[in-house]
Amino acid sequence: MDSVAALFCTGALLVGGIYWFVCVLGPAEQKGKSAASLSGGSISSEKVGDKFKQYWSFFLRPPSEIRAKDKDTVPDFVDTFYNLVTDIYEWGWGQSFHFSPSVPGHSHASATRLHEVRASDLISANPDHRILDVGCGVGGPMRAIASHSRSRVVGITINEYQVGRARAHNRKAGLDSTCEVIRGNFLEMPFEDNSFDGAYSIEATCHAPRLEDVYAEVFRVLKPGAKFVSYEWVTTDKYRASDEEHVAVIRGIEQGDALPGLRSYSDIATVARAVGFEVLKEEDLAAPPAGPWWTRLKMGRIAYWRNHVVITVLAAIGIAPKGTVEVHEMLFKTADFLTRGGQSGIFSPMHMILLRKPSNAASASASK
């Protein structure tokens, strides 16, 4: 009887432990993804591993080669990337796929919302406005900005799976009447000229092979006098191309985040002016006295390890696609590169630039 009781207790502890790992610790948010529902987005489970190998092979190449030879296929691989990572991001991070400065006395969720609301205030969004979210993901910033400003927000994402997730979240939040999500390429947006009262992009345009192409499209669809704010991923003035450690960190970020080459902070305003924008303000929101944005990554190492154990177990028993283990390992390594980039100051994910389309601008962008 003692052995039976011991076996029963062991089994109960095992089941309880799995439940705690997957169901209690699993969801990133109260209404977020659970570990048991991780998928490959629009990719069928049996193809996740092959798609990851194709993605990794593509972004292992030097960014200069990707931009020179395959810039037209970059959007397809960015789409693949978000099929692979969207569920993991939602489960392990939340519905806002971006960083924010840490704020004393505020939780990560609260600091994230402050960062999003700041974008809304910078473009003076109000209830009479139709605002464009350039690269909306699953719509975390969209919902925060729509709630704060009462604007109508239209989001565009290249990933069909994210469209479904964003619409579902919008319905749950009661914002489906003010938040619209469509699938499209922000390099060729399906919107009429002069059709938006403002626009923002939070850590999304970094996926564009040429920044001028996406900025020109935003310029085209904005009404004259409207403002656009973007939080850009950049290398800072501390980055040295002659430093092997610096190069390794930046390459690690590029490969693990589907980036066809990070841009220097000094290039952003030049590109904006070239397509016709007026530059109103430019600031690195990660610079002191802002709190470190990478703290959440550094503090999350135990969570990453726990999540990796969960994913490995779920993949082994056939609940999660087997390739998900490799995807999560890539994200774990990339988190380390991001942390090193932040701590050394050579990388910022929130170089803010505030732009305005001139009031006398032509009805369509002259840069097209």
Digit-coded pLDDT (tens) for 151-186: 999 999 999 999 999 999 999 999 999 999 999 999
Q: Which residues of the chain have pLDDT under 70?
A: 1-32, 299-300, 363-368
Instruction: Estimate the crossing angle of helix 74-92 against helix 48-59, to 10 degrees.
Output: 120
Q: What is the pLDDT of residue 15?
A: 52
Q: What is the pLDDT of residue 27?
A: 44
pLDDT for residue 323? 93
Which tens digit of pLDDT belongs to each residue from 108-151?
Answer: 999 999 999 999 999 999 999 999 999 999 999 999 999 999 99
pTM of the model as a whole: 0.90
**What are the helix (H) ranges across 123-159?**
140-149
Give pLDDT, residue 63: 95
DSSP state of 292: P
Q: So what's the pLDDT on residue 368?
A: 44
Q: State the pLDDT at residue 308.
A: 85
Predicted pLDDT of residue 18: 54
3-class SS of residue 164: helix
- Residue 162 structure tokens: 């994210």
What is the model's pLDDT at position 31?
Answer: 46
Structure tokens at 210: 């040429």
